[in-house]
Every structure is written in structure tokens, then in C-alpha cells.
Amino acid sequence: MKKSKVDLLIGAQWGDEGKGKVVDMMGADVDVFVRYQGGANAGHTVIVNGQKVVFHLLPSGMLYPGKLCIIGNGLVLDPEQFLAENAGLHERGQDRARLVVSPHAHVVMPYHKILDRAQEAARGKGRQIGTTGRGIGPCYVDKYARNGLRVEDLLDPDLLREKLVPLMEEKNQLLTRLYNEKPIPFDEVYEPAREWGKALAPYVDDVVRLLRAAVDAGRHILLEGAQAVLLDVDHGTYPYVTSSSTIAAGAFTGTGLAPCDLTRVIAVVKAYTTRVGEGPMPTEERGEIGELLRRRGGEFGATTGRSRRCGWLDMMGLKYSMELNGVDVLALTKLDVLSGMDRIRICSGYEYDGRRLDRFPTSSRVLEEVVPVYETLPGWKEDISGCTSFESLPDAAQNFVRFIEAQLDVPVKLIGVGPDRAQTIDRGL
């Protein structure tokens, strides 16, 4: 039996590392692409031949013909976003893969989005998390309260009505009595949901069976993570996190694959650090450097358009990510953004309450008060966007990459030197 290759791609920081580009670059050699957690609060941007495509729910492999693209049970599905995104690809002739949705994926309903925004507003200034307002958190709440709707429920209009009646009563009680919102008429939810079921039906299949068959056939499977490690609901900077498990272990519950199926973990790291929304970020630069990184890197959210907070590379957070995920190789993105700087700073440690910390503190309160300890490396002036090999990079850029490898004890096998698929240095990924 031919041995399968199961790669797991995760973001190693606070998200927006460029995972979509890496997935797309690897895509030609991949047979099966899988999204396994998160929802439409993710935005993976792919640029091919100068054309920009943003994926929120669909796996990035949709641009490749003949591939199998799967939405696993661990993802929460926004039917409106899913259908609109798929229709957009179809209109441009870019829906080239076979798309499959797990019947067990939970559904983001209209009341989830209203609750999300109402809850965030009710937290008040200083306590807000910075959610996207896409209903992701409330949908996961219902999932774990065993009170949610799954894709399979939308396929049966009678079952959908039976489940939705008590759900709507409960949600309207919350909206009207706790958040002073207007109640949602039943038919305004039921009728669209019934139509979503009809539209989703052709895509629904047994994902566990399909993945097991792919493993048994020796196929190359790529599990495509959304958000990133430091936003993990258990291991991230709680409560400023997402609502799903973003670490490597989450891929198994989100797909039905077994841990023994996994071949390697690929962590995507941006050459600097960004964060969207609230929460601690020790290396954030609020002045000229932060604005420079934001402008050069195009650091605006693909999902919300919000400006990303920018700062220097944080090795403390990255070392923590390596520990949590058993990372085998790194993909370093946006190295070109650092071109032209006289010096580049890298945070190699934290000080807290007068002492040096030897580990990344997961307490948000502690992380808000740490003082970053920096090392300074020489920068480079050259434009590296046309470099096609590691040796063609300026010496200072090569040394920057080697510094990361030495600090994390993980090899950098992929280097992004521009936004396009072709602007990538492959060192044997």
C-alpha cells in the first residue's frame, strides 16, 4: 500500500501570516485540501498572475483543477458566505476542484451574528475581544451546549422546523430581554435556511469516509488551518482568542483523521508580527515603524478590512508555538517587507516584574505588562522580490533567516519574497 502524505499547515503567530499563499504554492502536488476549524472569520488571500482571490470558507485549493476540497466537521459554516464565495469562483471560471461539505459541520445562523455583535457591544470599552461579528463564537457556544444546527439538519425541512422553533424562542428571549434587540420573525430564518439546505445538498458527503479512502490510497492531503496558534481557545491569550482549536491537535477532531495519519506540521511565520483586534501584543510598534510595516505589508484584514497592529518578530511566542505543535518545518512569509531597513529588531525574551522570563506567559494580564528584550540585526537595502534562491538573497537577509532557524531549532524551507505565487523561494519543502 502506498503511504499517504498528510501535511498540516498552521499559523504560528496571531494569524494573517500568509497561510493561503503557502497552501496555494504547495497546491500543485496536493490531492486533497481540508479546512477543519474556524469559519468565515478567516481570510486567506491568494494572488496568482496578479489576480487576487480571497477565501473565507473555501479551501485555497479551489483554484486547482481536479482536486478534492473538503470542509470538515470542525468548521462552522455560514451558508450565505459559502454559496456567495462559490458562486463568485464559478462566475470567474475558477471553481476547478470538487467541493465537499461535512454533514456534521455546524451552521452559523442569522441570530448568531446578531448575538455576536450585541454581546461584543455589551462588554463595553476595555472588555471587548475584537470579534469579527460573523457569529462564530455564538455558533460554537451552541455546538458545545448541544443546541446547534448542523448541515444535515438543513437538508430535512420538517426536522429543521422542529429544531428551529425552540431555538428561535430561546434566542429571541436573549435578544429582547438581555440585549434590548428586536425579535427575529421565525420565517425570516426558516425560509432562507430551507433554501440553503437545497443549495448545500449537492456538496454534502461523508468526509470521514473520503479522507480515510484518501489515506488508504496514498494521497497527499493538506490540512489548512485558519487563525493561528496564539488565538487557540485553550492555549492562546485567553480571552482574546478565537472560538476553535487552532493548534495541530484540533485537526484531528475537526476532520476525523487519526494522529498517526499525520506526516508533518508546517508552521507559517511572518517576518514580523501582526495582530487584529484586542489583546496583548508585546512587540507592537505604535509609531513610524508600525505604520511602515502596515503600509508595506498591506496589513489590512481580508475579512473585515481592519488595520492590523504591527511590530517586530516575537521569538517568545514562536517558541511557544513550536512546543505546542511539534513543528517540523517553517514557511517564512513577507521577508520582502523588511527590505530597506537599516536595522531589524527581534524580540528574544521578556522581562516582567524585574526578572527575565524563560517561557511565553499565557496569562493575558502578565503578557500586557512584559517588556520585550530585543536583539538587533543588520538590515538590507536591496529589493529581494525577484530572488529565486536562498543564495541570491543579500547576506543580511540570509542571516535573518538563519537567526530564526537557530532560535527555533526548526528549518525554514519556504521563503516568501512577494505576494504572488511565483515570488517564493522553495528550499525543499
The set of catalytic residues is 16, 44
Q: Nearest 5°: CA angle at 85, between 30 and 58?
A: 30
Instruction: Give CA–CA dist 216/256, Å, rounded.
Output: 14
Q: Categorise residue 246: left if φ over 0, alpha if ψ from -120 to 50, beta otherwise.
A: alpha
Q: Nearest 5°: CA angle at 427, between 423 and 429?
A: 95
> Where would I find the beta strands (DSSP E) of 353-404?
355-357, 371-378
> Where would I find the beta strands (DSSP E) of 15-124?
32-35, 44-48, 51-55, 68-71, 76-77, 98-101, 106-107
What secondary structure letter does DSSP report for 184?
Answer: P
Query: Which grid coordinates are listed for 295?
Result: 503600509
Instruction: Give CA–CA dist 413/419, Å, rounded.
Output: 17
The pairing of strands 264-270 and 329-333 is parallel
**C-beta separation of 55 from 71 below 8 A:** no
Instruction: Give CA–CA dist 115/134, Å, rounded.
Output: 10
**C-beta separation of 210 from 217 below 8 A:** no
Burial of 192 (0-12, 13-18, 19+ CB in 10 A): middle
Number of Cβ atoms within 10 Å of the Cβ of 171: 24
- In 3D space, the residue among 187, 171, 190, 168 whose CA is nearest the CA of residue 179 turns out to be 171
